[in-house]
Structure 1
């Protein structure tokens, strides 16, 4: 595959993974706390503790997903660049 295609697929997978994780984390947050996760413009009744915890958890998970995807893309590019070893010795 072309390097640009691999990069675009990696970016798409990264974004998709972050969106999916955000939905899953939101569902878990609601189940655990009984409240929806803090919004971008938080309700004044939401505590700073909840806002900070939500931000840290979603930021941490999102970063882990992005790094994992980019590492996988780098491995794919590295494999592509390495010439395959021949089973026969060169003369």
Structure 2
């Protein structure tokens, strides 16, 4: 009888464990997406800000020439930074 009771208790507790495991997996996925978004924003943040500024200028009816050239120079800088080879030899640079 005790064996049957132990099996019932184990089966009753099973869904709770699985729900907790699923929640943990979702939290890990959300954390990975957040880290990736922070990395992309840190690499292209200045470009994104300049493009949004140009868009806001155009919507308001003014010329966005300065914002567009700023976005282009920021994109060029980001491209240069992204293509640099990084390794243990250039860790501090």
Structure with bigger helix share is 2
What TM-score comes out, normalization by structure 2 length? 0.41
Q: Which has the larger radius of gyration?
A: 2
Task: State the structure with bigger RCO (CA 8 A, min sep 6), 1 or 2.
Answer: 1
What TM-score comes out, normalization by structure 1 length? 0.42
